[in-house]
Structure 1
Amino acid sequence: MNIYPYLNFDGTAEEAMLFYKSILGGEFEGGISFFGEIPGMELPEEEKSRVMHISLKISDSVKIMASDTSPSMGHVWIKGNHNYISINADSKEDGDRIFKGLSAGGKIEMDYQKTFWGAYFGSFEDKFGIGWMVNYDLKPGEE
């Protein structure tokens, strides 16, 4: 299992991550995904260029991930909600166990489910107000 910080921005994720890369080094994994690339998603034109996901791998054990908020999807950036803890689980089942355990008594934002990007993913605020994301990247042949 790996645990990484996940930062939220209000339209400046790409700029911030390019800045962090210029200082810390590393490489972006998988490029930059934008909200406008989501299949079938209707978004205002100004939100299509916002970052859905970006991951800066600094070393084998250090990674910073980020996204912009999407106001039309109900995401509101408020100072204090701009940081999540992201867990990359070792298996789909382990991710489900972690999601169910940590989200108990909290507020689920997105159920742990299969996504269009080839992973199982869910997010929530735990009962103490801390934001979490649980992800498991599917391996070839896995559903």
Structure 2
Amino acid sequence: MKPALTLLSLCLSLGCAAQPEPIRPEARAWFSPPQLPGLRATWLLGTEKDAGAYVLRVQLAPGTRIPPHTHPDTRHSTVLRGTLYVGFGERVDEARWVAVPVGALYVAPAGVPHWLWAKDGEVEYQETGSGPTATLPVKPS
């Protein structure tokens, strides 16, 4: 039997599924928290309330700062555009910012306070984790 026919026979016998459509951020619903107008985000996979894996795309306008906060799950964030400045701790400490360039990834462990800044211009990054999740502001002590 010819290779193409063998592949076709195998596909028909196994019930091959159609190729899934790509998930395009521009076709998704974006939101901005009222307290952070410089932040836009969209859930590409899952949502904050769903159990299981999620993917969140985030855009920060130039100069946007996200104050200290935590998440109940560990988040892995990859910078897609710009340079994201990240710091860890309950209070923003200007001396402790770390620059995360395009292509780099940073990890925010579950329950660990951290803060973000789009210091040099627009930033886009993508977070992954396992839900349900939340963003919990750190109350100043």
| Fold in common (TM above 0.5) | no
**Which protein shows a greater Rg?**
2
Higher relative contact order (CA 8 A, sep 6+): 2
TM-score bucket of the superposed structures, by smaller chain: under 0.3
